[in-house]
Amino acid sequence: MAEHKNEAAVQEKITDHERLRLIFSYVTNISEEKDLNNLLLLMADLGKQLIQADRCSLWLLDEENRELWTIVAHGVDELRIPYGTGFVGHAIEHNQSIIIKDAYEDDRFNADVDKQTGYRTRSILVIPIHDSNDEIIGAYQAVNKMTEDSFFTKEDEGYLELAASYSGKAIESAILYNEIERTQKEIIFRMGEIGESRSQETANHVKRVAEYSRILAIALGMSEEEADLLKMASPMHDIGKVGIPDSILNKPGKLTDEEFKRMQRHTEDGYHLLKDSPREILQTAAVIAHEHHEKWNGRGYPRGIAGEEIHIFGRITAIADVFDALASDRVYKAAWPVEKIMKIFKEERGEHFDPKLVDLFFEHLDEILAIKDAYADHFD
Ligand code: C2E
Ligand code: SIN
Ligand code: SIN
Ligand code: SIN
Ligand code: FE
Ligand code: FE
């Protein structure tokens, strides 16, 4: 089976003219690609065709975790190896290209990846990649030359270097963009935690609500992008609780009418806190903060809007939040068994909640309960 993959047909050598065409056809796409994973895949493709390798991958340094990582295909997880291992690690450590005819005859070879994938590596070419400050940021690795000679040459090294230098800027900005995006997501998530942590609700509440919301969004037929947007924004639904005094927020018993009125203001407070940001995630979070306590029948707060007047994200977060509130211990109540919650959901179908969302909730109950278990609270 594994050997099969290696028995791909021997290729005719491509001409210089074809190489030039290839580079031109990739350069625009590469320079415009902002998504780091997509960029790595594009570059892997270009490298593979350019020097007629069976496989090609672009490895990047992850300084924080002292690892090298790559993406091998769309939708496949990252591959990671420790710093300094294998040819890739060696090329990066010594800032030096490596050309090998048979990997197994070289003791720098890390055969673990072959063992994991059942692939048989023979010839290898690795070149280090630098950023504009000439710092090494990773390496280009090609495996198994597919022409008659079956090994890589100095010429191939030159072509790969050319591709790498064309792409250096694009990689640099994609790394930066990726970092900014991850930072944004983390800040947003931590903001959500603040909203909840003061009321003794754990970070897990925020995670669960985010995951339940995403499941419902997908079930409703939304795109992955839209569902991810909701998932990122929904953790902030209670951010407006930051302004609520502890005496109300952590009151072990039932709130007085006045206290509950104060509590209800967390919807408007959250909305005003977030609404002026031009960022899509925060805009979305503003709407969710505002509308997550509205009810389908119009008897919610703060505005008492009804049905589809309530943004779909608000309707989804409402059902996710109430499920989680009921399924968890709170200072003012013990967790309910799931059957009791489902009974309430049936009663509230078309009252508190969008009827379609209640139906989808029941249809996807297995997935939802799996999340509930995976992110269960553990109190001492
Ligand atoms: P939360 O604890 O996150 O609850 C979110 C929503 O879940 C509640 O919105 C309500 O719709 C539902 N929910 C939670 N517990 C129960 C319950 O025991 N029975 C029923 N039928 N529904 C429940 P709601 O009511 O607008 O409350 C908003 C927030 O106000 C709550 O967020 C909580 O922080 C606070 N709160 C509400 N009631 C009390 C209370 O009696 N004591 C205290 N200390 N806080 C309360
Ligand atoms: C190595 O460079 O030996 C590890 C990476 C790989 O084989 O794909
Ligand atoms: C949707 O995005 O699927 C529907 C939008 C809406 O109902 O607000
Ligand atoms: C409550 O806080 O007990 C009322 C919430 C609901 O109507 O489901
Ligand atoms: Fe709330
Ligand atoms: Fe909540």
Question: How much distance in Å is there from the Cα of 175 to the middle of ligand 2?
Answer: 22
Gap between the Cα atoms of 174 and 32, Å rounded: 10
Ligand 1 pocket check: which of 301, 322, 324 to mutate, most ligand atoms within 8 Å of Cβ?
322
pLDDT at 4: 45
Residues of the chain with pLDDT under 50: 1-4, 380
Question: How much distance in Å is there from the Cα of 13 to the middle of ligand 2?
Answer: 25
Domain shared by 83 and 36, yes or no: yes
Q: Which atom of ligand 3 is nearest to the CA of 313?
A: 8
Domain shared by 281 and 346, yes or no: yes
Residue at 184 is within a domain: no
pLDDT at 6: 54
Domain shared by 171 and 241, yes or no: no
Residue 204 belongs to domain spanning: 198-374
pLDDT at 75: 66
pLDDT at 235: 87
pLDDT at 195: 61
Residue at 257 is within a domain: yes
Domain shared by 205 and 292, yes or no: yes
Domain shared by 136 and 256, yes or no: no
pLDDT at 111: 83
pLDDT at 318: 98
pLDDT at 1: 40
CATH number where 164 lies: 3.30.450.40
Residue at 86 is within a domain: yes
Total of domains in the chain: 2
Domain shared by 168 and 206, yes or no: no
Ligand 2 pocket check: which of 88, 98, 106 to mutate, most ligand atoms within 8 Å of Cβ?
88
Domain shared by 126 and 226, yes or no: no
Final residue in a domain of this structure, among 175, 209, 241: 175
CATH number where 357 lies: 1.10.3210.10
How does 318-331 read in b/e, with b if 16+ C-beta sit within 10 Å?
Answer: bbbbbbbbbbbeee
Question: How much distance in Å is there from the Cα of 380 to the middle of ligand 2?
Answer: 45
Residue at 8 is within a domain: no
Q: Which atom of ligand 3 is nearest to the CA of 221?
A: 3
Domain shared by 171 and 203, yes or no: no
pLDDT at 378: 67
Final residue in a domain of this structure, among 175, 206, 225: 175
Tens digits of residue pLDDT in 268-327: 999 999 999 888 888 999 999 999 999 999 999 999 999 999 999 999 999 999 999 999
Would the CA dihedral through 109, 114, 120, 123 be positive or negative?
Answer: negative
Residue at 61 is within a domain: yes
Domain shared by 86 and 203, yes or no: no
Catalytic residue among 145, 241, 295, 372: 241
Say if ligand 2 is within 6 A of residue 86 CB.
yes
Final residue in a domain of this structure, among 143, 175, 207: 175
Domain shared by 166 and 226, yes or no: no
Residue located nearest, by CA, to atom 6 of ligand 2:
113
Domain shared by 205 and 94, yes or no: no
Q: Is 13 annotated as catalytic?
A: no
Domain shared by 22 and 75, yes or no: yes
pLDDT at 102: 93
Residue located nearest, by CA, to atom 2 of ligand 1:
325
Residue at 159 is within a domain: yes
Q: What percent of the chain has pLDDT over 90?
A: 57
Residue at 4 is within a domain: no
